[in-house]
A = this chain, B = another copy of it.
């Protein structure tokens, strides 16, 4: 892990920007944090700062909610998905240890985007991956 992942988890956006980007209310965003679906960073003055990963997660949450999933369900899905990602990462490491970090990450990314990770492909709302490429 590094480079791209570091950038994706960098705290950059205030809640106002995130509201616009996700079309969620401040109340909703804070509620999801309360239920530990996201954990945005804080400024010294205690204002939330969201990363691109946070925003992606919020878009996923929004989608799942639209499909009727509740907080508990989303929480489960997230932790399962997290597991999967770890497993896939390990496999990739073993399978092709001569790959570049870059190549490895791209591989992983594809696998996750397509098969595993939260059926990312069903996300109707644009996700933040647009912001990379």
A4 and B133 form a contact (CB under 8 A): yes
A16 and B43 form a contact (CB under 8 A): yes
In the assembled complex, which residues on chain B have CB atoms less than 8 Å from the CB atom of A49?
Answer: 17
Chain B residue nearest in CB terms to A47: B16
B130 and A7 form a contact (CB under 8 A): yes
Copies, count: 2
CA distance A130 to B4 in the complex (A): 8
Classify chain A: how many residues form its interface, as a range.
10 to 19
Chain B residue nearest in CB terms to A4: B133
A13 to chain B, nearest CB (A): 6
In the assembled complex, which residues on chain B have CB atoms less than 8 Å from the CB atom of A7?
Answer: 130-131
B4 and A12 form a contact (CB under 8 A): no
CA distance A60 to B130 in the complex (A): 24
The A1-40 residues at the B interface (CB cut-off 8 A) are 4, 7, 12-14, 16-17, 21
- Residue ranges of A at the interface with B (Cβ–Cβ < 8 Å): 4, 7, 12-14, 16-17, 21, 43, 49, 130-133
The 8 A-B pairs with the shortest beta carbon distances in the complex, nearest first, are A133-B133, A12-B17, A14-B14, A132-B133, A132-B132, A7-B131, A7-B130, A12-B13
